[in-house]
Amino acid sequence: MDVILTLLLTTALAGIGGTGLGGLVGALLQKDSNRTVSLLLSFAGGVMLSVVCFDLVTEAVETNVGLWIVVLAIALGMAITYLLNYWIDKKTNPEVAHIDEHHPKTADDLDELIHSDHLNAHYQRQDSKLGLFVAGLVMASAIALHNIPEGMTIGASYASDDGVMGGAALVLAILIGLHNIPEGMAVSVPLISGGMARWKAILITAASGIPTVLGALLGFAIGEIGPLGLTLSLGFASGAMLYVVFGEILPQSILMYHSKLPAFATVAGILVGMLIIF
């Protein structure tokens, strides 16, 4: 029980605490903060790349299960995350007026990244409570696609340390928490811009970190199976996060702020991640 409790508390601080802090920062910013959020998201993407390339993939290869198993697990994680995200987009995009054939094939604003634009469309139509609940559930699912793999990395790393919160797992939790601050801003800013009270947006943003805890339990359970389970858990989480970074965060950052600065912010995130990991 102490092992699970420690894992839950650590992941809650990284997930709920990190996103909640980001939500608070987002609430204190002006509504027109695309440049700031773009650079912070780029930085967070760089941190995530460091976690994947210099920690998770290396640890998966060192299980000696087989390089092809690692490659397949990464590809599976990326493919499943892409398909789930594609399905959500396909179901919700037609309900938002400005998303048509001329719109970029990825989100170009914060409200699209978390599908709060879909929720706002239901509010504007004064839909039933059931319709609003479903729209809220869609938004929660879109956020969970980002947070569950992050939690899996902490849980799998914890399992690889034989249930002890060693240096690697603790560093990973710190990096995930750092990464979640800009993502928390990405949740709270569009909610507040849509008219939601700041305190309520902060609470919802903090609650959006709960899937991180669920992911940690899943990653730990699979990682405890043995070397193969640990490889699959680390690889799947790596692939999911690679899709989130390259398929969503970085394109979103560039579309929000047309500049070369997001590239520099991404490299800065990679370097900070390297310094913390090594």
pLDDT, one tens digit for every residue, the chain (278 residues): 577 888 888 899 999 999 999 889 888 875 556 788 889 889 989 999 998 999 889 989 998 899 999 999 999 999 999 999 899 888 888 878 778 778 888 877 777 777 777 777 777 777 777 777 777 778 788 888 888 988 988 888 887 766 555 566 777 788 888 888 888 887 888 888 777 888 888 898 899 899 999 999 999 899 888 889 999 999 999 999 999 999 988 998 998 888 899 999 999 999 998 998 88
SS3 273: helix
Q: At 217, is the secondary structure helix, strand, or coil?
A: helix
Q: What is the pLDDT of residue 136?
A: 79
Q: How far apart are the first and last CA of the chain?
A: 31
pLDDT at site 99: 82
Task: Confirm if 188 and 122 have CB atoms less than 8 A apart.
Answer: no
Tokens representing 9 are 């508390």
- Buried b / exposed e over 233-264, threshold 16 CB at 10 Å, is bbbbbbbbbbbbbebbbbbbbbbbbeeeebee
Q: Say which DSSP state 161 is in.
A: T
pLDDT of residue 32: 55
Q: What are phi and psi of 164, to 5 degrees?
A: -110, 135
Residue 99 three-state SS: coil
* Residue 163 confidence (pLDDT): 55
Task: Check residue 261 and give its pLDDT.
Answer: 93
Query: Can you give the pLDDT at residue 111?
Result: 76
